[in-house]
Chains A and B, each alone.
Chain A
Amino acid sequence: MNGCPEYLYLKHVAAHLTCPRKERNRLLQQAKQEINAYCTQLPHVDLRELKLKFGQPIDFADALMTHFTYLRRLQFVRRKIRQLLTAALALLCVCGILLFQINRISNADSGCLAVSYIQSSE
């Protein structure tokens, strides 16, 4: 299923659907129905043909989101960017804490290595 042209096309369309999740799912469902209807008529359709029929994914996404103004979409994307930046910062902090812990444990227990060395040399 993941290698299907319709799946790939929908994935590209989904990347350009800049709206809240609920609305996004509804629009994706709508797009899926349209594309599946076309694919049942032409079972061996490829991605290039889908792009010829429905246009570039970004244009198809724009057509789906006609009732969303660019300003509203921009507001949504900016809010999303803020959330993602916060998440990235939090993850960086977690990585920093973990690195600090690794350094601390290695330094604090370096004596064990000496013991292990003595033990192995015996």
Chain B
Amino acid sequence: MKKHDPVHTYIGKVSRLLYCSKEEKQARLQGLEQSLLEAADLQSFASLSDVIAAFGSPEEMAEELSESLPLEDELFQHTRLCSKLRITIACLAVVALFLLIAVLYLVAYYSPPMIYLSASAFCLFTPEEESYEWLP
């Protein structure tokens, strides 16, 4: 069941700012939840701003909770992923450009109505009827 009291809203906000495994996150948030609930017994938190006034902003709390986390490795991996994505996007942009040129070429090449003239006959192409009218 989801709880929507200020304490759990605060925990949810902190949770979104933590970058670690699920188990690690759960363990850290459990500790936070306990201390928040203990504090809530002593002074009731009417709103999220009350919790923030007592415990600091979710960003600050997330910083505090992720002090011992290996964020450096995580950051390095994410930065590499970011560079790979940039290369992928550049490749996709080139492919899209070539495809656009191909479409424009095809549109220009097949643009109706087309009248073909030959030495012996005129051929009128009507794409709607998909038939060719041969004129003597």
Contacts and interface: CB of A to CB of B under 8 A. Distances in A.
Interface string B42-82: 00000000000000000100110010000110111011011
B106 A102 contact: yes
B114 A112 contact: yes
B89 A16 contact: no
A91 to B, nearest CB: 4
Nearest to A108: B127
Range for the number of chain A residues in contact with chain B: 35 or more
Main secondary structure of the interface of A (DSSP, over half): helix
Interface stretch (A2-10, A28-36, A44-52, A75-83): A75-83
A8 to B, nearest CB: 16
Contacts of B96: 91, 94-95, 98
A3 to B, nearest CB: 21
A102 B107 CA distance: 9
A105 to B, nearest CB: 4
Interface in B95-136: 95-96, 99-100, 102-103, 106-107, 110, 112, 114, 116, 118-120, 123, 125, 127, 130, 132
Given A94-B96, A111-B127, A115-B123, A16 B79 contact: yes
B35 interface: no
Contact of A95 (B72, B79, B99): B99
B83 interface: yes
A95 to B, nearest CB: 5
Contacts, number: 99
B93 interface: yes
Contact of B123 (A18, A106, A119): A119
B127 A73 contact: no
Given A70-B75, A71-B66, A105 B103 contact: yes
Interface in A48-103: 58, 69-71, 73-75, 77-78, 80-81, 84-85, 87-88, 91-92, 94-95, 98-99, 101-102
23 contacts: A15-B79, A15-B83, A69-B63, A70-B66, A70-B71, A70-B74, A70-B75, A71-B62, A71-B66, A74-B71, A74-B74, A77-B79, A78-B78, A81-B78, A88-B89, A91-B93, A95-B95, A98-B100, A102-B99, A109-B106, A112-B110, A119-B116, A122-B118
The 8 tightest CB contacts between A and B, nearest first, are: A109-B110, A70-B71, A98-B99, A91-B92, A84-B85, A77-B78, A105-B106, A101-B103
